[in-house]
Structure 1
Amino acid sequence: MATVTQEKIGPLHEKISVTLDKADYLPGFEKSLKEYSKKANIPGFRPGKVPSGLIKKMYGPSLFVDEVLRSIDKEVVQYLDTNKINIFAQPLPLENDLTKLDVSNPQAYDFHFEIGLKPDFKLPDLAKAALTGYNIDITDEMVNEELERLQNRYGNMTDKEAVEGDDNVLNVTFEETGADGAVIEDGIKKENSLLAKYFAPKTRKELMGKKAGDTITIKLGDAFEEKELDFIAPDLGLNKDEAATKDKTFNLVITKVGLLEKRELNEEFFTQLYPGSDVKTADDLKAKIKEEIFNYWAAQSRNQVQDQIFHYLVDDTKIEFPEAFLKNWLITQNSQQQEGENPQPAKTAEQIEAEIPTFLNQLKWTLITEKIVAENEIQVTPDEIRDFAKQQLFQYMGNNMGPVEDQPWIVDYINKMMKDRKYVEDAYGRLQSQKIFEWAETKVRPKGKSINADDFAKLVSEHQHHHH
């Protein structure tokens, strides 16, 4: 009968030794031989009539090794299950020499494995977390800017011969140039449509009187001020915060000049924006816009609170890890990824060592979420995943879908997504994460703080930059 023993290697790092007797694997090996002889297809012999001695000679060694390893695996799994040992990943082989397995000389075998134990830990008290709940000030300026954006978006465009004022719309092509002023062959080339007022005053002055076909040369940091660079730089595939971005030079080729006539504030416009609503006047429209801006920033503030919750849980939860085991496991994974149909490039020992802190931090969050889910019975049902798929489709289609019951193709689409394992796993993870933070939000007591939108956006941007 097989025996299993366990001994300590290091912190949360254990060695499991299995001694397998002949009686533990021989019956299974002999059964495998008989089954193989029944289906073996060997020239010169009828199916099922191949002599057992020939089967053993031809296939015995591999069947013998398979049966011994299967028996070992069974004993290890049974031992871990019986003793309720909670481990990371799977046991890793230690000092095991498969060449000693001899089908001609069955005997007792010893196998050794290392395991990493999952730690016990306690979550910090969320009620004691010093969190800040930001209340973003919604100003009249923000409302008026959004109103103007909507009027421009739904306004009418008329062609103009030349640039005459700040409200002119310029269709332009950005062509990156070098220090010599020549266009870089593989440089950035991007079309855009911009209001003249988006340019810095000096460049705006230079644009006045320019026509389609004219070109001016600009330096990005001089042609646009900070606020405009926030959307210009990403559109060009650049990072605004990198010093080299502002020094880049471009030919700005004007391809078309137009004048945008703002949409008139009337009932037709109100109905187009909010069909079926009670928006009937300009004041109603402003109130609706203010409500939407408030909801947007409230959601951003909530995201920021959730981010604080995440960092509080990660930073204040004390968890020990079997680092030596996990490092060995990463090395094993690295070796396995170099095999198969899609091999991955090998990582050096230095690269694996450098990845350990990030890996442990991610593992820490996984353990924290597992504990929260288990202790609070947080579940995600198939119906919730179906609703999630439906809402995603609605958002993609602009929420203009009508009753789902009247459109069978929507039901078919959702049924198809529910059969996509990768999609279901992703949706499950997102919904579970959402529920974890919803639970956590009921436990915290953020201290309210008023802040303007620009300062809040800067705070979030600096935080994201710090954590990347």
Structure 2
Amino acid sequence: MATITKEPIGQLHEKISVKVDKADYLPGFEKTLKEYSKKANLQGFRPGKVPAGLIKKMYGPSLFTDEVLRSVDKELINYLQNEKTEIFAQPLPLNVDIAQLDVNNPGEYNFEFEIGLKPEFELADLAKADITAYNIDITDEMINEEVERLQNRYGNMVDKEAVSGENAVVYVSFIETDAAGNEVEGGLKKDNSFLVKYFAAATQKELMGKKAGDSIQVAIGEAFEEKEWDYVAGDLGLNKDSEEDKKKTFKLAITKVAELEKRALDEEFFKQLFPEGDVKTEEEFRAKVKDQIFNYWAAQSRNQIHDQIFHSLVDNTKIEFPEAFLRKWLLSQNSENGQPAKTEEQVEQELPTFLNQLKWTLITEKIVKVQQIEVKPEEVREFAKAQLFSYMGGAVPSEEEPWVKDYVDRMMNDRRYVEDAYSRIQSQKVFEWAEKQIKPKSKQVSAEEFNKMVEEHQHHHH
């Protein structure tokens, strides 16, 4: 009969000794030997008639070792389950000597493991958390910009004879040249198209009146507005931060001139964007656009509240960890070649981030357990359906359509998808619970102030 003892060896760090004798593993070993004898197919022997002694000689040592280790694992797992011991990761074996296992002299064997215990802790009081709910100003300028963006997006491209304004679109071939304007052999060549207003002011002036077949010479880093330079450099394979690349000269050969004609603000356009048909006038259209902008920024503000909740819980919930065990566990994770994937120095460097992530996992588990948060299969189905509709740009087909059901059924049979969806829904429910506990103060800010604040926060935490 197996005997199990444990003793503390550090903070939330224990050693468990599992002692097994012949009665624990020998019956299983002998049963496995008999099964091998029945299945063995060796030259000179009829199937199922291979002598047990020969089977034992050939396979005994490995089968014996497997059975002893299997019985030890079984006893250890049963012990942890019966004791309701919550541990991190898996038990780590201590000083395992497989050589002690002798198939010809079975006896009592002792195996030792170390475990890291999950700690008990109290959640930080979210009612005392310093949380700010940001209300973003929705300005007329934001509404005008969005209306213009929609007019351009759904507008029509019309061919023009020559460039006549900043809303013209020029189709160009970039051809790398030397300073004298001669094409560089093996130099860069690329076709693209741009709104004239994306070029720098001096280049825009030079482009006015130009037609298909005309060309201009530019220093590429000076030809575009700064916010467009990153895109242009990436498209041409240049280093956006290299002064040398910025000075490269190109011929911009114009192959076509066009102009984007904005979509008229009429009822046909309104119905295309809002098929429900409740938008008849420009005033109603602008009100709808304002609602969409408001909803967008409300979602951004809510995401920021979730971020504050996360940091408040992680920063103010005190949790002790079995750090010595976790260091050993991280080092025990092997790469494919069997060598440690990380050095002690790497583990030490990554430990704070790892513990922070572990802390959030424990906090989430506690909230889910205490608040009895559940995710039902039908919620995963609805998640898959909503995701499908979002892929379609918000268009919502009938849920009775066979292809919709087929898509959702396929997703529900994808284990990885279901696990990811389950995790996302559960996380959302955790934050929904947390939102009810906080008492945020409200602050009115502009979109620019909000974006700057979020950017600085992200920079600080990376």
TM-score where L is the length of structure 1: 0.89
- What is the correspondence of 1:434-449 to structure 2 with a 5 Å cutoff? 434-449=428-443
Query: Which residue is 1:128 aligned to?
Result: 128
Whole-angstrom CA distance in 2 between matches of 1:409 and 1:95: 58
Out of 244-253 and 377-386, give the one that drifted further.
244-253
Query: Which residue is 1:387 aligned to?
Result: 382
Q: Secondary structure at the match of 1:300?
A: helix
Q: How big is the shift at 1:247?
A: 7.2
Query: Which residue is 2:224 aligned to?
Result: 223
Q: Secondary structure at the match of 1:424?
A: helix
Verify the 8 A CA contact 1:133 1:446 in the aligned structure 2.
Answer: yes
- What is the correspondence of 1:17-416 to structure 2 with a 5 Å cutoff? 17-172=17-172, 192-213=192-213, 214-220=215-221, 223-226=224-227, 244=242, 248=246, 251=250, 254-335=254-335, 337-338=336-337, 346-405=341-400, 407-416=401-410
Q: How big is the shift at 1:401?
A: 4.6
Q: Deviations over 1:348-393 (max 9, x none)?
A: 3333332222222211111111111111111111111111111111
Verify the 8 A CA contact 2:200 2:222 in the aligned structure 1.
Answer: no
- C-alpha spacing 1:434/1:253, structure 2 compared with 1 (3 Å): farther
Q: Secondary structure at the match of 1:142?
A: helix
Q: Secondary structure at the match of 2:279?
A: coil
Q: Deviations over 1:49-73 (max 9, x none)?
A: 2221111111111111111101111
Percent identity of equivalent pairs? 66
Q: How big is the shift at 1:162?
A: 2.7
Verify the 8 A CA contact 1:217 1:249 in the aligned structure 2.
Answer: no
Whole-angstrom CA distance in 1 between matches of 2:333 and 2:180: 50
Q: Deviations over 1:237-270 (max 9, x none)?
A: 999xx85599745645544321222222222222
Verify the 8 A CA contact 1:338 1:346 in the aligned structure 2.
Answer: no
Q: Secondary structure at the match of 2:93?
A: strand
- One-letter amino acid of the structure 1 residue matched with residue 423 of structure 2: G
Q: Deviations over 1:248-300 (max 9, x none)?
A: 45645544321222222222222222123221111111111111111111111
- C-alpha spacing 1:135/1:193, structure 2 compared with 1 (3 Å): farther
Q: Secondary structure at the match of 1:398?
A: coil
Q: Does the alignment pair 1:427 with 2:426? A: no
Verify the 8 A CA contact 1:238 1:245 in the aligned structure 2.
Answer: no
Whole-angstrom CA distance in 1 between matches of 2:201 and 2:38: 89
Unaligned runs of 5+ in 2: none
Q: How big is the shift at 1:98?
A: 0.2
Query: Which residue is 1:457 aligned to?
Result: 451
TM-score where L is the length of structure 2: 0.90
Q: Secondary structure at the match of 1:96?
A: coil
Q: How big is the shift at 1:184?
A: 11
Q: How big is the shift at 1:325?
A: 1.2
Whole-angstrom CA distance in 2 between matches of 1:247 and 1:467: 32
- C-alpha spacing 1:219/1:452, structure 2 compared with 1 (3 Å): farther
Verify the 8 A CA contact 2:333 2:340 in the aligned structure 1.
Answer: no
Q: Secondary structure at the match of 2:333?
A: helix
Q: Secondary structure at the match of 1:334?
A: coil
- C-alpha spacing 1:42/1:330, structure 2 compared with 1 (3 Å): same
Q: Deviations over 1:102-132 (max 9, x none)?
A: 1111111111111111111111011111111
Whole-angstrom CA distance in 2 between matches of 1:156 and 1:79: 72
- C-alpha spacing 1:126/1:282, structure 2 compared with 1 (3 Å): same
Whole-angstrom CA distance in 1 between matches of 2:356 and 2:310: 12
Verify the 8 A CA contact 2:331 2:343 in the aligned structure 1.
Answer: no
Whole-angstrom CA distance in 1 between matches of 2:309 and 2:268: 45
Verify the 8 A CA contact 1:40 1:48 in the aligned structure 2.
Answer: yes
RMSD: 2.9
Q: Deviations over 1:329-352 (max 9, x none)?
A: 1222124x435xxxx994333333
Q: Deviations over 1:194-231 (max 9, x none)?
A: 322233323322332333452442454773145x5687
Q: How big is the shift at 1:14?
A: 1.1
Q: Secondary structure at the match of 1:404?
A: coil
Verify the 8 A CA contact 1:219 1:248 in the aligned structure 2.
Answer: yes
Whole-angstrom CA distance in 2 between matches of 1:80 and 1:217: 73
- C-alpha spacing 1:26/1:375, structure 2 compared with 1 (3 Å): same
Whole-angstrom CA distance in 2 between matches of 1:21 and 1:320: 37
Verify the 8 A CA contact 2:32 2:63 in the aligned structure 1.
Answer: yes
Verify the 8 A CA contact 1:3 1:18 in the aligned structure 2.
Answer: yes
Out of 137-146 and 38-47, give the one that drifted further.
38-47
Whole-angstrom CA distance in 2 between matches of 1:83 and 1:186: 72
Out of 242-251 and 97-106, give the one that drifted further.
242-251
Whole-angstrom CA distance in 2 between matches of 1:173 and 1:311: 50
- C-alpha spacing 1:216/1:445, structure 2 compared with 1 (3 Å): farther
- C-alpha spacing 1:244/1:348, structure 2 compared with 1 (3 Å): farther
Q: How big is the shift at 1:186?
A: 9.1
Q: How many residues align?
A: 458
Q: Secondary structure at the match of 2:367?
A: helix
Q: How big is the shift at 1:191?
A: 5.4
- C-alpha spacing 1:453/1:39, structure 2 compared with 1 (3 Å): same
Q: Secondary structure at the match of 1:88?
A: coil
Verify the 8 A CA contact 1:116 1:326 in the aligned structure 2.
Answer: yes
